[in-house]
A and B are shown apart, each in its own frame.
Chain A
Amino acid sequence: MAHTLSVLVENRPGALMRITSLFVRRGFNIESLAVGPTERHDVSRVTLRVNCEQHTLEQIQKQMHKLVNVLRVIELEPGEAVERELLLVKVAAPPDRRAELMALGEVFRARVVDLGPDALVFEVVGPPEELASFEELVRPHGIKELARTGRVGLARASRETPRRAQRLEVLR
């Protein structure tokens, strides 16, 4: 099963490497990873997507907790968190196909951020699953290049502390 982990780390050299090294060393697989600043200048947020059993997930969380630079590990449970991702895709767009592509883009609230003589670049922001659908729909037109940021997420404003984090506190 796929899980999203949101990890707060001290913004120190090597902190990210320690996390990724832990995944490699313990044989855990990362599906996607996104890193960026948070509301605190000295703290970064790493959002990790992993596909594993519950038992492995608990191991990952506990092992990550032991890293000195890791401040907090939270699982973002579906329904209790908002998750977003950004997709840029360059699609072949000869003049006779443009209108069709633009119409498709509108359905997904995709923006055209660049336009060339025979290609255009879409930008889509949304839940990662939606990006995947969009990708499938434009694929027949010919995808020239594609980049995704990896998902980021936050617990919903209506939920302060996810249950999982509390449970881990007991174990610590």
Chain B
Amino acid sequence: MKMLGSDAILRSLEAEGVEVCFGIPGGAILPLYDAIARGTTVRHVLARHEQGAGHMAEGYARASGRVGVAFATSGPGATNLVTPIANAWMDSTPLVCVTGQVRRPLIGTDAFQECDITGITIPIVKHSWLVQDVEELPHVMKAAFHIARTGRCGPVLVDVPRDVQEAPIDFEYPDAVDLPGWRPPRRGHARQIKEAASRLAAAERPILYVGGGTVNGDACGELRELAELGRLPVVTTLMGKGAFPETHELFAGWPGMHGPKWSNYALNKADVIVACGARFDDRVTGKLSAFAPGASVVHLDIDAAEIGKLRNADVPVVGPLKQVLHDLAAELRKLSEVGELRPPEAWLLQIADWRDQFPLRYRRGDVLKPQTVVETLRSLTAGRDDVIWTTGVGQHQMWAMQYLHCDRPRSFITSGGLGTMGFGIPAAVGAKAARPDATVVCIDGDGCFQMTGQELATSVLEGLPIVVVVINNAYLGMVQQWQELFYGERYSHVHLTHAVPDYAQLAEAYGAAGFTVSTEDELEGVLQEALALGRTAVVDARVDPAEQCYPMIPGGAAALDMIENPEEETVEAGS
């Protein structure tokens, strides 16, 4: 069919089944936006900042398991996308970013709003294209989607000069990609999987260490089957939260810097660790040389380069987690049928013991505690299967990890590897676009809110209602915690104040509902109201600025040497 390059981009998105995309127009991408105006089945959500558009696309992808799509113009529009691209890279989120570029004859001349965005993003994309010929467009779009979602998921960038968008093309969407250098692994090695099963069967203290790769690989059902079959305890990383039901008896919490001590004990004292789409990140291992010293490692991953990168793998298996976990369970079942599998009951009892010994603790008092806010949100949503959480980055994020119980994959969406403040609100808007039926709640920090809060306008005007609960501790809390603990309480530029801005008034200014709460008495009622409202709402929860996030592995320390809340009279948190 005869059309323009800009139309070809949209027809490609339609062919890929894209329903929603996020972006902001500008000079170099005017032809594409004109094509949108001329008609498409793809819904475009107008963000207020390209960073917001990018995080929305990420939130959409993470909530739905599909590829997220973001548009931006050349120059500053494209550079504003760099943070979400880096975020998607670190967290392996499938993303296709389409940017406008100056006309081909102007490339290289420092033209207005020219910027070498393919050059800038080389280290943080799986692949990118500067499309020089309109005839290439359909193939590039096809390849872009294919690469973003196959193998280890991640972002790709398609940079399209304005005159390529305006050039005529006889459009036909290709059926297949021609990518001789892109061959993601198809199957895990059968012999290695067998070896993994026999290691598991012989283990006395086995553990499944589950990361975001299990969610991306759509392998959570297979994971559960494996865990239940072998009665194997499961820890999930921040990115893996929700991959295994957190109310399950085999769930053993979250390891890492702010994970409970008992979870870190379970992982670090195991004799066989099966890493499932997890990458031994420093936030999980603490001091690497002291991490799980007695464990042999079975490493299952779609990305061969993760294997042996940080921790040697005794049994490496490279392949799609869905198949690998399924086959591993099948092998384990064979061993069980010939009586060679003994459930590690003593080990499970030991973990339960640690759990009793080292519960998460904080002290309730006259002042509202951030943990109480999260616990109240948990109890108000208990048993519901239609809630999606997003977070910013900081103490509130860690409290959300510690105190929320997520039983389903894709119900906890956070910025893990890059730790991007401001991720929460736009990610929530994107998640809502993916799951209009869901109640999407962003647990945000006061600092994070101020980085991307303008996307409340997008939420209100696009009919994508979200609930933002601001854990307002008046501080860049996580930084303040480090200054308190490791820099002799010399607080340097971390005070934000409780009252500026007034988050509830700001919400009202955006056409959203605003609430302020500063006591435990009002808390439940306000949260309940905000959750039930059905429109965008912001709850400014003014909490104790002095509350710190514990337990904690100090930077560079061994995971087993984590420190607990030094407060003497801490009481156990409500269940």
Give the B-binding residues of A (Cβ under 8 A): 9-10, 13-14, 17-18, 21-22, 25, 55, 58-59, 62-63, 65-71, 170-172
7 additional contacts (CB under 8 A) given A17-B122, A62-B304:
A17-B119, A22-B123, A25-B123, A65-B305, A68-B179, A71-B181, A171-B318
A-B pairs with the 7 shortest C-beta distances?
A: A62-B305, A68-B127, A25-B123, A21-B122, A171-B304, A71-B181, A62-B304
Q: A18-B122, A171-B304, A172-B318 are known contacts. Are A68 and B189 too (CB-CB below 8 A)?
A: no
Q: Which residue of B lies closest to A72 (CB)?
A: B181
B130 within 8 A of A: yes
In the assembled complex, how far is the CB of residue B431 from the closest CB belonging to chain A, in whole angstroms? Answer: 28
B-chain residues with CB within 8 Å of residue A14 when the two chains form the complex: 118-119, 122, 128, 130
Q: Which residue of B lies closest to A9 (CB)?
A: B181
Is B181 touching A68 in the complex (CB atoms < 8 A)?
Answer: yes
A-chain residues with CB within 8 Å of residue B307 when the two chains form the complex: 62, 171
A-chain residues with CB within 8 Å of residue B181 when the two chains form the complex: 9-10, 67-71
In the assembled complex, how far is the CB of residue A111 from the closest CB belonging to chain B, in whole angstroms? Answer: 39
CB-contact partner of B180 in A10, A13, A171, under 8 A: A10
B303 within 8 A of A: yes
Question: Which residues of B from 375 to 406 have beta carbons under 8 Å from A?
Answer: none
Is B179 touching A13 in the complex (CB atoms < 8 A)?
Answer: no
Chain B at the A interface: mostly helix, strand, loop or mixed?
loop
CB-contact partner of B309 in A13, A59, A65, A170, under 8 A: A59
B308 within 8 A of A: yes
A9 vs B179: C-alpha distance in the bound complex, in angstroms? 12
Q: 1/0 per residue B107-146: CB within 8 Å of A?
A: 0000000000011001100111010100000000000000
A46 vs B214: C-alpha distance in the bound complex, in angstroms? 35
A65 vs B185: C-alpha distance in the bound complex, in angstroms? 11
Is B304 touching A172 in the complex (CB atoms < 8 A)?
Answer: yes
28 contacts between A and B (CB under 8 A): A9-B181, A14-B118, A14-B119, A14-B122, A14-B130, A17-B119, A18-B122, A21-B122, A22-B123, A55-B308, A58-B308, A59-B305, A59-B308, A62-B307, A66-B126, A66-B151, A66-B152, A68-B147, A68-B179, A68-B182, A70-B181, A71-B180, A170-B189, A171-B304, A171-B316, A171-B318, A172-B183, A172-B318
In the assembled complex, how far is the CB of residue A170 from the closest CB belonging to chain B, in whole angstroms? Answer: 7
A47 vs B128: C-alpha distance in the bound complex, in angstroms? 24
Is A66 touching B123 in the complex (CB atoms < 8 A)?
Answer: no
A48 vs B518: C-alpha distance in the bound complex, in angstroms? 62
